[in-house]
A and B are shown apart, each in its own frame.
Chain A
């Protein structure tokens, strides 16, 4: 796509300040999860382990960039009355195609990912960005916007997963940080009577962790504070 963007707008460089902002803004002040309230459903369901959060983030990034690009290219053709259906169909077909190809040619990867298929399609971050950005912008900025929002989504997801996996299971990315709690084979902190906080594994704790992240973020940037 870069060539197209270049030829159409020779005056604006590919990584102009404006385009860079499309990537950096969603990381903090316009974060999809903590500010725009998009993509919450899936963010909470899969943050028990860091590994899954990472896999989910990569999948969302892929779908968001590609989907944003396609919608942006079609934006002058889509009838406004059925635009939501069109957006849904585009994202669903993308995900299904990728899922089918993986199942056929990379079955091991597909086994890891198949759980996420439904979660990606129902992820409102994708619909939200289509509607808010790709429908009104050229392909290249849309790609940048997709990339930025996916990154903003990813870091919150991974942060929540780090907190939950470390406190809930005593490990990070599957590596046992605090030792092992298997009876008879205990080592590390568990021999001293440390116990995992099983509460952290429960889904509602994800909400509370996100709530605390919002608290920290808004304490640092007072402009984001809401009235009520």
Chain B
């Protein structure tokens, strides 16, 4: 069984939202020109993930999943058989969008200074696919407790934060390099992200299940990492 720490570390590195799943790419590419704005957007993403994923987890487990409504009345068979999972996409989206809206209003009212710094990023986040992606992954992977789901949310957020701050820092430096003119801006950012993605793939080699390993698996675990790409000729 995965521990909460496993889930957390995995979400930051080997299952990084940007480099492994390409989620949240659009704002990642658009808002990574300077480190300062990247930090702002990254922090906002962490925060929104931290709030929306647990809310969606509760919704999923106590409202939408087949049999999830059983808590209302354990003896009511009709409630136990109710399956509202067809609504989950809509519900997740509604939760994300309304929480972003709510946070925006609250921050504007009670912390105008923070709003000045974060404000323009908040509406952007509602359309950031990494937020909805995290909700869908959470539902797909069936985390057993809300703690695990939250660890996953924070981990994903931190992973996204690291990715956008790193690319912004590189882009600030690249500005002084002699990049071929047609490649400047977007082009070089794509290629840099690709190279960073390849680097991040090495984290796939982390074996999270090491304590359960038996003799048979020791031999094969050396093969498990996906970092060695051009290995043997095998059937495609």
Given contacts A37-B186, A228-B185, contact A195 B233 (CB under 8 A): yes
CB neighbours of B26 from chain A (8 A)? 37-41, 124, 128
Bound form: Cα–Cα A40–B24 in Å: 9
Majority secondary structure of chain B interface residues (helix, strand, loop or mixed): helix
Main secondary structure of the interface of A (DSSP, over half): helix
C-alpha spacing A228/B34, complex, angstroms: 12
**Which residues of chain B from 174 to 206 have a CB within 8 Å of any chain A CB?**
174-175, 180-191, 193-198, 201
Please tell me which one of the listed residues A93, A127, A196, A208 contacts residue B127 in the complex, with CB atoms under 8 A apart. Answer: A127
Q: How many residues of A contact B (CB 8 A)?
A: 63
A186→B174 CA distance, assembly (Å): 46
Complex alpha-carbon distance, A212 and B180, angstroms = 12
Segment with Cβ contacts to B, from A14-22, A53-61, A135-143, A199-207 = A199-207
User: Please, which residue of chain A has its CB at the minimum distance from the CB of B200?
Assistant: A204
Whether the pair A204, B182 counts as a contact (CB closer than 8 A) is no
- Cβ–Cβ contact A204 & B197, under 8 A: yes
State the Cβ distance, B131 to closest chain A Cβ, in Å. 9
Q: How far is the CB of A193 from chain B (nearest CB, A)?
A: 9
C-alpha spacing A85/B234, complex, angstroms: 48
Q: Are B191 and A207 in contact (CB under 8 A)?
A: yes
Contact status B186-A227, CB under 8 Å: no
Residue pairs across A and B with Cβ atoms less than 8 A apart, 20 shown, are: A41-B25, A44-B25, A85-B98, A92-B90, A96-B89, A100-B86, A182-B235, A190-B233, A195-B230, A196-B236, A202-B201, A204-B196, A211-B187, A211-B189, A214-B182, A214-B183, A216-B182, A218-B182, A218-B183, A228-B184
- Top 8 A-B pairs, shortest CB-CB distance: A226-B185, A204-B197, A207-B194, A218-B182, A211-B190, A122-B129, A211-B191, A40-B25
Which B residues form the contact surface with A (CB < 8 A)?
Answer: 19-26, 29-30, 33, 86, 89-90, 93-94, 97-98, 101, 123, 126-127, 129, 132-133, 136, 171, 174-175, 180-191, 193-198, 201, 229-231, 233-236
